[in-house]
Amino acid sequence: RELEDRTLVTQDERTHAMSNPKFTCKTSEGDFVVELYVDKMPYTASNWIGLAKDGFYNGIKFHRVIPAFMLQFGCPYTKNGQGRPGTGGPIPNSTFKNLGDGKEYKRASDGRVQDELTAKLSNEPMTLSMANTGRPNSGGSQFFINTKHNSFLDFFDDRTASAHPVFGKVVDGEGVIKKIEALGSRNGQLSKEVTMISITEC
């Protein structure tokens, strides 16, 4: 019986250790919390986590917000002005640790990462999804938050050629997302700048 109890504790500890990490995103319009799907999308989630922990996203602005569609974020050019917003990415050849397998991975010479088209998670409201150019393996630091069910963006939906893998979800602060969404427009321009002040692990 004593051995049985120790086994149960060990299993519980293992379950706790495998729980997905959560991060508080502090913006100029308020805070929201995201859960990163390390359990189902370890490579993509770990790329985001690595950037967040490195402070990469701090000071970056939401550059494209379309009501009843999505909020796009993650381009460093919105902070440093070195290029057209929406075209920037991580530092070339930078690395991050995959929290799924514990290995270190290197981003490409232009900062891009590989597509992780594995878990069939749909682009439902409040999910985080990788932005890309439409070409394979063209994602990097940019992602978007769906504000409606955009199933046509799923890589496993053959209605379009779009392939945007979901790797997380907003789990608290949905009102802040709606507030930012209301500042957008049909062409994506915002009526007011919205800046990411910091991202910290919960």
Return the pLDDT at 8.
46
Assess whether pLDDT exceeds 50 at residue 7. no
Of the listed ranges 10-14, 121-125, 127-131, 171-175, the one predicted with least confidence:
10-14
Assess whether pLDDT exceeds 80 at residue 54. yes
3: alpha, beta or left? (left if phi > 0; alpha if psi -120 to 50):
alpha
Please give the C-alpha separations between residue 88 and each of 73, 85, 110, 159, in angstroms, as whole numbers: 11, 7, 9, 28
Return the pLDDT at 20.
98
Return the pLDDT at 80.
82
CA dihedral angle for residue 97, residue 79, residue 60, residue 117, rounded to 10 degrees: -50
Residue 40 CB: number of other CB atoms within 10 A? 18
Q: What is the mean predicted confidence (pLDDT) over 18-24?
A: 92
Confidence of residue 82 (pLDDT cuts 50, 70, 90): confident
Prediction pTM value: 0.90
Helix (H, G, I), strand (E, B) or coil at 175: helix
Q: How far is it, in rounded angstroms, from Cα 115 to Cα 98? A: 14
User: Average per-residue pLDDT in the chain?
Assistant: 92
DSSP string, 18-66: TSPPEEEEEETTEEEEEEE-TTT-HHHHHHHHHHHHTTTTTT-B--EEE
Q: What is the mean predicted confidence (pLDDT) over 145-159?
A: 97
How far, rounded to the nearest angstrom, does the alpha carbon of residue 24 sit from its chain's CA centroid? 12
Assess whether pLDDT exceeds 90 at residue 180. yes
